[in-house]
Amino acid sequence: MNNYAGIIVNNEAKAVDRLFTYKIPEELKNKILLGQMIKVPFGRSNKKIDAFVMELYSEYNEIGKLKEIISINNETPLLSKEHVQLIKVMKDKYLCSYLDCIKVMIPTGITRGNKAKTSALLFLGEPLKNKYLKEPYESIFQIVKNNNGLFNKSALSKKFNISLSSINTMIKNGFILSEDVVVSRYSDREYENYKSVKLNFEQQYVVSDIMESNENMFLIHGVTGSGKTEIYMNLVTKMMKLNKDSIILVPEISLTPQMVERFKGRFGKEIAVFHSKLGDGERYDEWNRVKNGEVKVAIGARSAIFLPFNNLGLIIIDEEHELSYKSDSNPKYDTREIAELKSGLYNCKLILGTATPSVESYYKAKENFYKLLKLSKRVNNYEMPKVSIVDMRNELMKNNKSIFSEELYNDINEKLDKKEQIIIFLNRRGFSTFVSCRKCGYVFKCDSCDISLTYHQKGNYMNCHYCGKQYSVKNSCPKCNSKYVKFFGVGTEKIQSIIEETFPRAKTLRMDFDTTRKKDSHEEIYNKFKNREADILIGTQMIAKGLDFENVTLVGIIAADISLNIPDYRAEERTYQLITQVSGRAGRGNNPGKVVIQTYEPQNQAIIYASQNNYEEFYESEIALRAAMNYPPFGKILLINFSSKNEEILIKNTQKIGYLLKHKLSNSDKIVMLGPTASSLSRIKEYYRWQILIKGKFDNEFENKIKNFIYENLKTMYNDIRVSLDVNPGNMM
């Protein structure tokens, strides 16, 4: 018999981020369950507040008088017992609060009493009799019979042109029943049926290996176009037959219209889609469909890993190497780690799939933590594209000052002649990358972020790519008043205008953050290009992901160096991945593909190995570097970020904490502390930012000690400093 409960109160304050023990009153005994939301009296005033049941005990050593639980909000627990367990692990692992974890698992608004929407729908009642055996009643009766439970009164009246009073008469006499039914706020368009194919030998082998193996965790390393998506769908179908649920994760749902299209086309209403653009009501309804077991498959971005499936059999993480799988707000979880934990808790299969595994995941596969499965050929044996690396320094020597090398220029013309399609990739949006004065060197920067502004020709404005703030364009320099204000560098918007000038016969489309702000705009651009309404698609990394266009035979990478020059230990890995992913868009149909990589660093390992499609060699050289430098997967990185609107206070206090921390860490030679120093992004949205990096071999307990140490010390300082701790952050800036 459970007599006591350990609960978490629904209150953000740091001081109450712990378990409180409450007594279960007699009338609620046997009714209180793990994961339920309940009401308890809290604080000195005994205010009634929501709480979550995290633990149940029969015995408790009562010291002082315990308060009693007041009532239960919903009998069905909001959190499964597995998720309750997961929350406890996450809090420790990601240095966040209990509530942070709970909030990613339930839809927003549920704690504010969000409710399902109901509608009074019409059902068939008693057969007509007596004086009602005539028109219009007989027709109405027939209509309701054919549309049982599909319409409410007004909808039926409108659709079939029936008077409301006749309907009311029939309801009054019991010939029609009007019943409140929960309806979904989510409505989706129809998708074209996506027929299943017979798997080839390689694919079949992978599927049976996964289904028959005793192991649960797999990494599929399959070249682009090797048919991974078909494998995923096949596995989902197998799970459905076993009456088990599946979660499919994609990097960003709006950026992967094709994946959604295929899954929707194959599974129709049986699959729930979790977009970031769903409204709160829609999200709530879809979440409930999952919870109530009405749907057995869901596809979504990282937070869909927390969907409350009861009988989970399969988790698929597509493009597992993508950085968006690491959350950058609390809880700062890594989706792959959560998936591993869930695989253990539910004893379900976990599949990571990619053409370019993250170094960390590949390492795990080599250590047999994941079982490695390889797909080395494209479906139907389509050739991998031919890759050519062009040294842009030579172009300059040939006096070619255009952004296109001679080779790329000629190739574009050739493909335009053949009516084949082209993708041009540049990982930088906007028109120019910075705006400055040629006389004094002044660079226009965002007032609140200290980031140089980007010029956008369409709309003629400058904006900050960190906070989005817009600025009007100035014709003179605010510092020296000269008129020599100039735009430097190129972004996708500029490339598009250059292409339109250079190849006037080509129709172009552009896909980047700026052209895809509206709902569905991403899908629109994608469909236009698929329907061959344009010859050239220009885009940022958005176009690198999973797009499958048969007619694309040329991919041009304008500046492969951009991703090499970011201050991050994963710069090489990112470059390898981007080149491979973008290149993978070429030659997916009958005609062979070609890729032209333009660079100022043709000797770079990441570029060379990517051009040879040689992941194995790339991995070997990269893992050696990681080992030498103690970077993940060997060591860990703990990034501690401090921010404040007051720069002086921030610097003073960060330095003080840095000093104390250095002292505390001084007796360990396996741990290095870097900083305190201003972050690469030294100011964002009015907040100045400083950071401390701790690198080395340490465990979770150590990280929590550091966290507590910092919070303890901050208490004695000004409280307008914010701290954020991130273990192995996705973004080091």
Q: Under the rule (CB under 5 A), what is the footprint of Zn ion?
A: 437, 439-440, 442, 446, 448-449, 464, 466-467, 469, 477, 479-480, 482
Q: Which residue has the tokens 């404005």?
A: 461
Report what 403 binds from Zn ion, ligand ADP, none; CB cut-off 5-8 Å by kind.
none
Stretch that binds ligand ADP, among 5-13, 51-59, 194-202, 566-574 (CB under 6 A): 194-202
Q: Does 237 engage in binding with ligand ADP (CB under 6 A)?
A: no
In angstroms and rounded to an integer, the radius of gyration of the C-alpha atoms of the chain is 30
Under the criterion CB under 6 A, does residue 221 sit at the interface with ligand ADP? no
Which of Zn ion, ligand ADP, none lies near 467, with the C-beta cut-off 5 to 8 A by kind? Zn ion
- Site size toward ligand ADP (CB under 6 A) is 15
C-alpha distances out from residue 443 to 450, 457, 586, 681, Å: 10, 18, 38, 16
Q: How far is the CB of 271 from ligand ADP (least distance, A)?
A: 17
Is 203 one of the binding residues for ligand ADP (CB under 6 A)?
yes
Q: Is 234 in the site for ligand ADP (CB under 6 A)?
A: no
Q: Is 224 in the site for ligand ADP (CB under 6 A)?
A: yes
Q: Is 348 part of any known ligand binding site?
A: no
CB 476 within 8 A of CB 482: yes
In the chain, count of helices (H) and strands (E)?
A: 20, 29
What residues from 145 to 184 belong to the interface with ligand ADP (CB under 6 A)?
Answer: none
The beta strand positions in 44-172, using DSSP E, are 47-57, 71-72, 117-124
251 binding ligand ADP? (CB under 6 A):
no
Amino acid at 365: A
Q: State the minimum distance, in angstroms, from the CB of residue 530 to ligand ADP.
A: 12
Report whether 413 contacts 622 (CB < 8 A).
Answer: no
Tell whether residue 405 is a contact of ligand ADP (CB under 6 A). no
Largest Cα separation within the chain, whole Å, is 98
Q: Do 657 and 634 touch, CB atoms closer than 8 A?
A: no
Query: Does the footprint of ligand ADP cover residue 543 (CB under 6 A)?
Result: no
Residue of the chain from 2, 226, 454, 492 that contacts ligand ADP (CB under 6 A): 226
Cα angle 231-234-236, degrees, rounded to a multiple of 5: 110
Closer by beta carbon to Zn ion, 467 or else 717: 467
| Backbone φ, ψ for residue 374 (5° rounding) | -115, 140
Measured from the CB atom, the residue of 203 and 604 that comes closer to ligand ADP is: 203
| β-sheet bridge partners, residue 349 | 314
CB 531, min distance to ligand ADP, A:
16
In 275-300, which positions are buried (b, 16+ CB within 10 angstroms) versus exposed (e)?
beebeebbbbbbbbbbbeeebbbbbb
Give the one residue of 82, 230, 320, 337 binding ligand ADP; rule: CB under 6 A: 230
Structure tokens at 681: 């992004």
Tokens coding 250: 């994609």
8 A C-beta contact, residue 220 and residue 373: yes
Closest CB to ligand ADP among residues 203, 358: 203
480 has binding-site annotation? yes
Considering only residues 24, 249, 365, 379, which one is a binding residue for ligand ADP as defined by CB under 6 A? 379
Which one of residues 35, 107, 227, 635 is an interface residue with ligand ADP (CB under 6 A)? 227
CB atoms closer than 10 angstroms to residue 188 = 15
Dist. CA 127–CA 132, nearest whole Å: 10
101 is in an annotated binding site: no
548 binds ligand ADP (CB under 6 A): yes
Residues forming the site for ligand ADP (CB under 6 A): 197-200, 203, 222, 224-230, 379, 548
Extract the annotated binding site.
437, 440, 446, 449, 464, 467, 477, 480
Extract the annotated binding site for Zn(2+).
437, 440, 446, 449, 464, 467, 477, 480
